Amino acid sequence: MEESVRDAWHGDAGYPAGDLLHRARAFPRSLRGPRHHLLPPGVLMAATDLKRFGNDWIEFGWVTNLTVVGQNGGVIDGQGAASWPFNKCPVRKDCKVLPTSVMFLNNQNTVVRDITSVNSKFFHIALLHNNNMRMSNLRIHAPENSPNTDGIHIERNTGVIISDSRIGTGDDCISIGQGNHNIYIARVHCGPGHGMSVGSLGRYVGEGDVTSIHVTDMTFQGTMNGVRIKTWENSPTKSLAARMLFENMVMKDVQTPIIIDQKYCPYYNCEHRYVSGVTIEDIKFKNIKGTSTLPVAVLLRCGVPCRGVVLQNVDLIYNGKAGTLSHCENANATYVGYQHPEPCA
């Protein structure tokens, strides 16, 4: 069976910021029924009136054996430029969250391919509570100054594969949030944007662990970060981020190619009373090369000591006049093979 997705959902104004799981449960409207959805050719345009949306625009939910395919160059256009000035999330914790363009919620055995998404109001694509998901040949774009336009945000999923895609946004190309297990990402070109992040983690009560992450063969061009793990201080509950491999990365004019930041806070006023409650262990960065636009190309800033951090065959060169540097706090890293910049003392 086939069905074309054409209309925006009508609903109440957005809900307060918080755990994506809680917000999605608060407004569950979805496309169910047919298991094979063909997005129409041409441009599918969202309304610009924010009062017409809840948490998302197009939602696929509670389906087993779902396939979503774009046709003949079809584009999902969130028309986000009209909404970006209303997004206060980069500066306020209690911000009102704008709608995500496409949400996949509580699906089993899903295939998504040949989708193009531009100018989302908030996230382009969000994956929440899915099991066994395969995504490929995605084209995602928004200007580098567009706030919170993450290409793909992943939260509370098991068994996700993302491959052979190009993502350039104003935020993370791919963000792996809390409660994820067995995530594989390969052959993705990222830029512009903030890079690829695990996190932020440790902000809310009851967050799930993030384990078994494998990211390979990515290219980052002109991004703020390359691969990054970021956690909040003052975490209300404890969680684990472990068993991650980032390998075969090319960095082209990236500010900070490798970063672990357990003091993450994007706001102006941040408390520094307690270290992060997220334990970081068994993290490996392997075969990472390229150029940085800041002298510190490797930043490992842990709260409590990170355990089992390994850097193998790293070759990063600052493209300015000074030398390339590493900076570490409580990292206790192990170094294997070629290392440039030199390991932290």
User: What pLDDT digit, counting tens, does each position of 225-259 carry?
Assistant: 999 999 999 999 999 999 999 999 999 999 999 99
| Structure-block tokens of residue 7 | 């209309």
Q: Say whether pLDDT at 326 is over 50.
A: yes
pLDDT tens digits for range 265-283: 887 777 778 899 999 999 9
| Structure-block tokens of residue 194 | 């903030």
- β strands within 169-255, DSSP E: 172-176, 181-190, 195-201, 210-221, 225-232, 239-254
Burial string for 138-156 (b: 16+ CB within 10 Å, else e) reads: bbbbbebebbbbbbbbbbb
141: annotated active-site residue: no
- How would residue 345 be classed by pLDDT, with cut points 50, 70 and 90? low
Q: Residue 90: what pLDDT? A: 85
Percent of the chain past pLDDT 70, that is, above it, reads 89
CB-based contacts of 25, cutoff 8 Å, min separation 6: none
Do the Cβ atoms of 27 and 11 come closer than 8 Å?
A: yes
Question: Which residue in the list 37, 141, 153, 194 is annotated as catalytic?
Answer: 194
Q: Say whether pLDDT at 19 is over 80.
A: no
CA distances, 281 to each of 125, 200, 239 (Å)? 28, 16, 11
CA distances, 92 to each of 17, 87, 170, 270 (Å)? 10, 9, 17, 11
Q: Residue 34: what pLDDT? A: 55
> If you average pLDDT over every residue of the chain, what do you get?
89
Handedness of CA 254, 260, 265, 270 (dihedral sign): negative
Higher pLDDT, 67 or 38: 67
Nearest to 110 by CA among 35, 2, 56: 35
- How would residue 138 be classed by pLDDT, with cut points 50, 70 and 90? very high
Q: Residue 320: what pLDDT? A: 92
Domains of the chain: 20-340 (2.160.20.10)
Query: Which of 42-46, 70-74, 105-109 has the highest average model confidence (pLDDT)?
Result: 105-109
Handedness of CA 21, 25, 31, 35 (dihedral sign): positive
Q: Say whether pLDDT at 21 is over 70.
A: no
Q: Note the pTM of the prediction, 2 decimals.
A: 0.90
Single-letter residue type at 281: E
Average the pLDDT over 126-152 and give the result: 98
pLDDT tens digits for range 199-226: 999 999 999 999 999 999 999 999 999 9
